Amino acid sequence: MMEILVTVFSATFFVTIIRTTTPLLLATLGGLIADLSGALNVALEGMMLIGCLTAVIVSVYAPWYVAVPAGAGVGALLGLVMAFFAYRLKADIILVGFAINILAAGGTVFALALATGGDKGTSINLKSGAIPPLDLSGLNAIPGIGPFLTSFLSGHSVLSWVAAFLVFAIWYFLYRTPWGLWLRGVGEYPAAPEAAGIPVTRVRTLSLVVSGALAGMGGAQLAMFNYVGFTRDMTAGRGFIALGAVLLGARHPVGALLAALLFGAFEAFAVLLPGLFNWMPAELIRMIPFVVTIVALVLFSIRAQRALALRGLR
Amino acid sequence: MSNVPSIDKSSRFKAVQAEIGRALGALAIALVVTAVIVFLTSKSPIEALTQLFTAPIAKVRTIGLWVDDIAKLTVTGLAFSLVFQARQFAMGVQGQVYVGGIAASYVVLSPIGSTPLGLAAGVLAAMAAGALYGFLPGIAKARLGANEIVSSLMLNYIAIELCNFLMRTSLPKPQPGVLTSIDFPSESVFPALVEKTRIDLGLIFAIVSVIVVWFALYRTSWGLKLRLVGHNSRFAEYAGIKSTFIMVSAMTASGALGGLLGAMFVQGQTWGKLTVLFEGGLAFEGILVAIVARSRPLAVPIVAVFYAYLRQGAALMNVRTDVPAEVIGVVTAIIILLVSSSFSLGFVTRLFGAKPAGSAAK
């Protein structure tokens, strides 16, 4: 028991949580923006996966600060494709999303085989780059709490800091700018903004593009920091977990952060568990994030129903 | 997914004609894109395309693989059609296949398995397990409003890990360390309909499923209610239909089909035993089959015939040439995108004639 507590409160565990949370958080924020505009983005998984592969392949030839935007850019492009089919060709957005997921699952393996010359499992033969950890050991100079701060704040991916900043930026955008109001209005009751002359479809298209960019960036973090390199299906359901995290976070950026942290913590826990308890079956440990997502979703839904009942809406 | 039933026979015929035209148009576009990809990437593109289009009917054995795929794609297509008709986007067929396969294996490897009842008992156990697995996201949505897409997808991952876990720990294995169970007793394995091929009893199950699902959807009051809920759940609610009950029962019935597919995998000639990852990603192909068939049970097997051919062709191309089978994912995605949208060939020409750039932004 002591071992668990020691591990859970250690700085290493904290750093692991931040690492596992970052891709999830980026995807969750992407899901949030799309969801608030009324466009359910079930393609987060596929966008992340294609983002992973793009970032890995670009990083072979270019530095990380080119590879990450490339991953995000591909995600954005997929968002545009989704919007095109959903709004211009009037397809069901959920089906379009799954088409993107299927494209990603097959397409990444196909593209990987082309890039590596026949290897369909991993990109191990490619010399792909990594996102450098941000070194803040300068904080050591602060008397007293310096070393403590360093052990907790140093060594995170640059994108972790970006993600944290994005939580604030998206909150500010949604609740303190007129465009944020537009976006929420379009999601809440599209007829009203339509009547007020707000281009509903354009707002949704842009949110899907941003959503895709964030998911692609999450993919880049996954394939260039959490793991270095691409393996087939490496997102392993993270995009779908992010979809659950959007709902769990009560469709609010801060809620999204907390939900992503929760899932990230359990994923980190699953990463560390085998070292602590070698008797625990690996399969059951791998199940943890999915079970937690279902449990959290159910509990949250119960709470949401109660809240509705309190307001007399049901 | 608008399938408004039309009373007029001739307009109905026209609608069917238009649907077929769109499906074939989408298929043609997807194949042209594939051909372009193959020509750009392969060293022997002609050879690869020849394999893709002719290999499945070249030998009796490959025809067997094709027919087996048709049966399985039909069942997963029906499972997705059922929930899509109720406008539920439950994506849990994959998980149901795994729990169905697990349940069937436990029953078949128990003493019951070597009796004449073994085959039926395995199938029924699989269907029951699948139904339960389909029921869970259904009831969570009906009672609590928990999003069925997320919960059913999570259940898929859990089922796969569960299968891996039970495979490693509890099921009897021929030797330690291998990831397959011992062979099922011959009483419980689906007999082959054609010797030395994979065409087995599963094909009969698939045909029966088509008829049962068609009958349930179009000749029973439950089916009428289900389709009403799918078209307009609010209207159905006002008409006194309990939409939550319909929702849950549709997802449960779809789960039973998923479980049946699980039994068809493990008890069929394909395996005749349980292995890890026995489903090989087939369950999700049901999305394409259901979408192209417009969730119509009678159209599902027809779509399955074409799609199974493409899948087998791709698999054989993968083995014999340098083009990976995964290229078929691109085909699938394009077909889903085109068929589920209001695309028409006229639209394409209009699109390129009128505004080529920034087209999504309105």
pLDDT score for B362: 33
Asked if residue A12 is part of any domain, the answer here is yes
pLDDT at B206 over 90: yes
Structure tokens at A115: 């890039």
> Which residue in A85, A291, A297 is closest to B150 by CB distance?
A297
Asked if residue A94 is part of any domain, the answer here is yes
Residue carrying structure tokens 């025809």 = B63
- Rounded to a whole number of angstroms, the CA Rg of chain B reads 21
Least confident of A44-53, A272-281, B311-320: A272-281
Q: Which range among A131-140, B25-34, B220-229 has the greatest average pLDDT?
A: B220-229
Suggest the residue from B37, B76, B136, B161 to mutate for an interface test with chain A (most A CBs closer than 10 A): B161
Measured CA to CA, the distance from residue B152 to residue B134 in angstroms comes to 8
From chain B, pick out residues whose CB is under 8 angstroms from the CB of A240.
149-150, 153-154
pLDDT score for B356: 41
Least confident of A144-148, B89-93, B292-296, B320-324: A144-148
Q: pLDDT, tens digit, for every residue of A171-185?
A: 999 889 888 888 888
Least confident of A6-10, A126-130, A230-234, B311-315: A6-10
pLDDT at B361 over 70: no
Measured CA to CA, the distance from residue B89 to residue B358 in angstroms comes to 30
Structure tokens at B328: 């078929």
Q: How confident is the model at residue B351 (pLDDT cuts 50, 70, 90)?
A: low
Nearest chain B residue to A83 by CA distance is B360
pLDDT score for B73: 94
pLDDT score for B1: 45
- What percentage of chain A exceeds 70 in pLDDT? 94
Measured CA to CA, the distance from residue A33 to residue A25 in angstroms comes to 12
Tell me how close the Cα of A156 comes to any Cα of chain B, in angstroms: 29
Average of per-residue pLDDT across B276-304:
88
Suggest the residue from A241, A283, A299 to mutate for an interface test with chain B (most B CBs closer than 10 A): A283
Instruction: Tell me the residue type at A46.
Output: G
Q: pLDDT, tens digit, for every residue of B254-285?
A: 999 999 999 999 998 888 888 888 888 888 88
> Which residue in A88, A243, A283 is closest to B359 by CB distance?
A88
pLDDT at B209 over 70: yes
Please state the domain count of chain A.
Answer: 1
Is pLDDT larger for residue A61 or for residue B129?
B129
Asked if residue A25 is part of any domain, the answer here is yes
Measured CA to CA, the distance from residue B270 to residue B263 in angstroms comes to 11
Average of per-residue pLDDT across B209-221:
93
pLDDT at A92 over 80: yes
Measured CA to CA, the distance from residue B303 to residue B314 in angstroms comes to 17
Nearest to A112 by CA among B38, B313, B327, B328: B327
Measured CA to CA, the distance from residue A34 to residue A186 in angstroms comes to 11
From chain B, pick out residues whose CB is under 8 angstroms from the CB of A304.
145
Residue A53 domain boundaries? 2-235
**Inter-chain residue contact B341 with A96, CB threshold 8 Å:** yes
Measured CA to CA, the distance from residue A199 to residue A210 in angstroms comes to 17
Least confident of B70-84, B282-296, B312-326: B312-326
Complex ipTM: 0.85
pLDDT at A1 over 70: no
Nearest to A32 by CA among A201, A215, A261: A215
Asked if residue A240 is part of any domain, the answer here is no
From chain A, pick out residues whose CB is under 8 angstroms from the CB of B140.
297-298, 301
Nearest to B278 by CA among B298, B288, B290, B264: B264
Q: pLDDT, tens digit, for every residue of B78-100?
A: 999 999 998 888 889 999 999 99
Q: pLDDT, tens digit, for every residue of A195-221?
A: 888 888 888 899 999 999 999 999 999
Average of per-residue pLDDT across B175-202:
83
Q: How many CA atoms lie within 13 A of B259 on its CB side?
A: 27
User: What count of CB pairs under 8 Å joins A to B?
Assistant: 156
pLDDT at A124 over 50: yes
Asked if residue A284 is part of any domain, the answer here is no
Q: How confident is the model at residue A74 (pLDDT cuts 50, 70, 90)?
A: very high
> Which residue in A84, A114, A304 is closest to B359 by CB distance?
A84
pLDDT score for A129: 77
Nearest chain B residue to A297 by CA distance is B146
Is residue B156 within 8 Å of residue B95, measured between CB atoms? yes
> Which residue in B144, B287, B327 is closest to A302 by CB distance?
B144
Asked if residue A224 is part of any domain, the answer here is yes
**Inter-chain residue contact A290 with B157, CB threshold 8 Å:** yes
Asked if residue A273 is part of any domain, the answer here is no
From chain B, pick out residues whose CB is under 8 angstroms from the CB of A120.
324, 326
Asked if residue A153 is part of any domain, the answer here is yes
Is pLDDT larger for residue B343 or for residue A39?
A39
Nearest to B270 by CA among B6, B69, B25, B47: B69
* Predicted structure pTM score: 0.87
Assign domain B9-349 to its CATH architecture: Orthogonal Bundle (1.10)
